[in-house]
Amino acid sequence: MDAREKWRAKAGPWARATLPDGQQLDVVVLGRTRTVDGRWWYECEAILPARHEGPDGTTKTTGAPTPISVEADEIAQIPGEDYSPVPTEGAIAGRQWVVEKLHQHAVSDPARRLHRRDCWQARDSHDRITTDDAVDLLARKAIAWCDVCRPDKALRRRPTVRREGAGE
């Protein structure tokens, strides 16, 4: 194994990134991050050409790791690579559901409404919650659900969700 192959083996899992102009590039995966808007991004290093000038004044081309962020939809895993040690983080990692705080005009009006995280109806003040929390809120009839994105349909597959009257 030559020096280049040894470095490549130590670098971490590789993936194929599709760049905004459609080009594909193999990148080293350093981490996964979920942004505040709920989208997943891969933090990567692209090995790009760089000029190296030696002490004697000679120059040569070398590979320089360059940090880039790639949206998860634009990353393809490479078979045989192990992605399990890749750090995953984000202030809202695992939180797929949005709870919108509602203005109550009457005591009987709902105080909160559940949305899918990408629902365009979720506006104003809201919090993100986990799937387990969303299932629990629906099961206890402690929250209304959005009539547009219908999170109850996705969550009803979970055995603890009771549908009868949940939208009342």
Of 25-34, 78-87, 98-107, which gets the smallest average pLDDT?
Answer: 98-107
Task: Give the residue from 42, 35, 46, 34 showing the smallest Cα distance to 69.
Answer: 42
Buried b (16+ CB within 10 A) or exposed e, 58-77: eeeeeeeeeebebeeeebee
Whether the pLDDT of residue 21 is over 90: the answer is yes
How high is the pLDDT of residue 161? 36
Give per-residue pLDDT as tens, 87-130: 877 644 455 788 888 877 777 767 888 988 778 887 766 788 88
> At 138, which helix (H) or strand (E)?
helix 131-139
pTM (predicted TM-score)? 0.50
pLDDT above 60: residue 162: no
